[in-house]
Structure 1
């Protein structure tokens, strides 16, 4: 299978879903928001954009299964190919009128990521990668930053909105990074955080209580842009392992050491 050609087709599909989201944002009503759990919100925009993605991706690769955030796909996970979809990463930003949100689509072949697309809707930036083919933003090659030291770095993170049992440790980690870097940003979209690491805009990103559909596409982007992605303290699975550390590679070990001082 030509994964590079497939990534271009997926990028077009993500743009079409993004166009729908952009149109709905103009007249979005907070009254349409539902709560899936504590601080975990969803709207008809998430659900309809996911259905649009599922329909088009199924037509593109009928044999593939789906791992989706909103559960609209009739075909569940398979042993060979699986799409991993977040139709609107940054839902909280979207419903509050904050502009940082995106469409995230990845394809896995067995246990390997082969396609990743993140479409940033309001900036009209489409990040895409295919296994072995490099990473691009609006068809221009991107690469992770060259920062060799934490003191030269700008980091990103996300804040947990449930399961606060590790919050104290997390705040201590952030305190350490605040003192040893150019700063920490919180965009509110894991997929965008990873895309920005791939593009060299952030030098590192870390977050826990994270889901596969939040990070799968971005993980491939970072790897194809020359970066490194793991769990916090080990080289374990960052896609299904619920925590992710992504860097330009040069500051990876130093970030792991700082996290390891507090994370048990």
Structure 2
């Protein structure tokens, strides 16, 4: 399954790279909540559905653009973000991805996906996980040695006070806001960034299902501002709300003193 998803990730980002710069791909064709669906989002989603169906398995699709699509007697639940960081993609900012998380058909626990892939469209790095192990470009991830002071922070005007209360518990950090939650989380779990938080109450299961699976395979679990591991429905697109992630257990203790 790891190889199947790695190949699907590669094909999906190759498809999207062929669409770069083409006229009309940024046209808005739908809205869902505060977000929009553009032509490129829908094209990517349709292509990913096709790639998954071609595996011979049946799926319950839970996807950002189309919501829930149920195939009878499905083998897996597929939670999909066909283009995470679409604004970056449209504007040529090299930080966007495709993400797919697969769950066994009877699974109810959001952090226990069976396998998945996050594929960086620009760098073409492929992050997969399967059977409790995480991989980068097919190579198993071992001995991650974190060395970073980068904080990936997302908050709006109404969350400034809350963000301040979080940030004052950190020392010597540098803030970045990159624009792809799935790739941001992988930076944490591979030791390239220190702490990620989004307190805007906007993050959905489709945004972070695959990156949660990748990180969980490395025993790094996303949590909320109540220090609870995040949960979500696997049957529909669902707002998770706040999310935080760090490899540093000491930081977690300081956050919740």
Q: TM-score, normalised by structure 1?
A: 0.79
**Residues 37 and 108 of structure 1: is their aligned pair in 2 closer, same or farther, counting only changes over 3 Å?**
closer
SS of 1:60's equivalent in the other structure is coil
Separation in 2 of the partners of 1:237 and 1:39?
A: 22
Q: 2:59·2:78 contact (CA, 8 Å) conserved in 1? A: yes
Q: Per residue, is there more helix in 1 or in 2?
A: 1
- How big is the shift at 1:199? 1.7
Poorly superposed stretches of 4+, deviation over 6 Å: 76-80
- Counterpart of 2:251 in structure 1 is 254
Q: 2:149·2:193 contact (CA, 8 Å) conserved in 1? A: yes
The counterpart of 1:158, out of the listed 150, 154, 158, is: 154
Separation in 2 of the partners of 1:139 and 1:181?
A: 35
Q: 1:117·1:128 contact (CA, 8 Å) conserved in 2? A: yes
SS of 2:92's equivalent in the other structure is coil
Q: 1:135·1:221 contact (CA, 8 Å) conserved in 2? A: yes
SS of 1:97's equivalent in the other structure is coil
Separation in 2 of the partners of 1:159 and 1:93?
A: 18
- How big is the shift at 1:37? 5.8
Separation in 1 of the partners of 2:40 and 2:252?
A: 36
- How big is the shift at 1:183? 1.4
Whether 2:14 is the aligned partner of 1:22: answer: no
- Counterpart of 1:135 in structure 2 is 134
- How big is the shift at 1:256? 6.0
Q: Per residue, is there more strand in 1 or in 2?
A: 2
- Per-residue CA deviations over 1:59-117 (Å, capped at 9, x if unaligned) read 32533201100007642798973100000000111122211100000011212311121
Separation in 2 of the partners of 1:27 and 1:168?
A: 38
RMSD (CA atoms): 2.9
Separation in 1 of the partners of 2:223 and 2:192?
A: 19
- Counterpart of 1:219 in structure 2 is 212
Separation in 2 of the partners of 1:113 and 1:197?
A: 19
Gaps of 5+ in 1: 1-5
Q: 1:102·1:118 contact (CA, 8 Å) conserved in 2? A: yes
